[in-house]
Amino acid sequence: MADQSSKNTANPSEEIDLGQLFKLIGHAFSRLFRGFLRVFLYVKKRIIVLAVLGIVGLLAGYGLSQILTKKHEIEVIVKPNLESKNYLYDVIDEIQANIDANDTAFFSQLGLQLNNLKGYEIAIEPVSDKNVEQEGEIEFLELLQKFENTGMIADVLRAEVLNRTSLIHRISIWYKDSEKGPEFARKVVDYINSNEFFRQLVNVNTSNATEHITENEKLMEQIDLIIANYSERMAQQQLQTGDGRILLDTEERVNITGLFDLKNSLIRDTERKKLELLEQREPITIINFGRPHQVNKAFFTKKIVLVPTLLIILFLLIDLVRYLNRKAGELAKAK
């Protein structure tokens, strides 16, 4: 009986606590609703003024967007050769410094007659994707496992090292003059590739690669001749040892398998040199010279939206200051 009476006395207090909680929640929702009504009434009273400000702002923003010159951009994808990456970044900084200094004499030496460099800008950044790089590393490791016990692993490693040390970069050029802008971009890129030191390196590298290809072709001709003589002797004499070697009249042993391996390595080396000649014609290889396009800005940065937004915010701030001033006056009178 005592336990039952204690339970009965505990229930009313719990019901009171729950009732108070629901009352607090009800009051909170009531205040929120009253606040929403006040905002609604405020907007309703001033809807005409806000609408007029919005329309005027839209018209003003549209007019400014038509009057002001729009900015254009050209993107050039490049690949530095012969350790010219640091030079590439330094020369871009040099060009931007001359733009900031409005040094028209510097650009006149490049064949650009510009009275004002305002609106021109140039920047560079590497073209890379971290997700793609991680996936590429996994694929590279799997590829190495496949060639683990073969002689091709050196070629795979060399190709991978070249890919990782020869990054592709994006040069971005901005301008406002749609007539002189494309010429400016072309002249600037030509200036970047005009470095005498790196051009000499390209010439020497081209000469070395050409000689290398010529020597490889001579060696392959000699190997073909030896193999042809071997085939002729096989047809005539039918002489072959059990270890894959033949015995010629001069008692010299020739490893035919080694000759084929040597020829294949010469072919691969010649292919690499031909690609090198194709890719390294200039200190900076131009992979893609983009076409001019207008710079697209974010929605709220456009003047057609920015102007009406600023007008409405300014009106609300003025109205808030008036309200606070009126309340301050009422408090002063009450005292």
**Residue 47 forms part of a structural domain:** yes
Tell me: do 24 and 116 sit in the same domain.
Answer: no
Residue matched to tokens 């009986």: 1
Does residue 196 belong to any structural domain of this protein? yes
- Do residues 172 and 242 both lie within one domain? yes
End of a domain among 279, 294, 309?
Answer: 294
| 287 shares its domain with 269 | yes
Decide: 75 and 121 in contact? Cβ < 8 Å. no
Q: Is residue 147 part of a domain?
A: no
Question: What pLDDT shows up at residue 188?
Answer: 95
- CA pair distance 202, 193, nearest whole angstrom: 11
**Same domain flag for 99 and 239:** yes
The answer to the question of residue 133 being in a domain is no
Domain end position, chosen among 294, 311, 326? 294
pLDDT of residue 2: 47
Domain of 249 in residue numbering reads as: 72-128+167-294
Same structural domain for residues 207 and 270?
yes
Q: Which helix (H) or strand (E) holds 76?
A: strand 72-80
pLDDT for 160 = 55
Q: Are residues 23 and 108 in the same domain?
A: no
Tell me: do 171 and 198 sit in the same domain: yes
Query: CA–CA separation, 102 vs 82, rounded Å?
Result: 32
| 161 in any annotated domain | no
**According to the model, what pLDDT value does residue 26 have?**
77
- Residue 125 pLDDT: 92
> Would the pTM of this model clear 0.75, i.e. be above it?
no
Give the per-residue pLDDT at 142: 59
Closest C-alpha among 287, 266, 281 to residue 205 = 281
pLDDT less than 70: residues of the chain = 1-18, 64-69, 129-166, 235-254, 296-304, 335
- Nearest Cα to Cα of residue 245 among 234, 235, 236, 69: 234
Do 177 and 98 reside in the same domain of the chain? yes
pLDDT tens track for 200-240: 998 998 899 999 999 999 999 988 888 888 777 776 665 44
Residues 225 and 84 in one domain: yes
pLDDT of residue 148: 55
Number of independent structural domains in the chain:
2
> Rounded to whole angstroms, how far apart are CA atoms 144 and 148?
6
120 domain residue, yes or no: yes
Q: Looking at the structure, tell me whether residues 196 and 111 fall in a common domain.
A: yes
Is 249 a member of any domain? Answer: yes
Kindly state whether residue 26 falls inside one of the protein's structural domains.
yes
Residue 214 and residue 327 in one domain: no
Does 271 lie in the same domain as 249?
Answer: yes
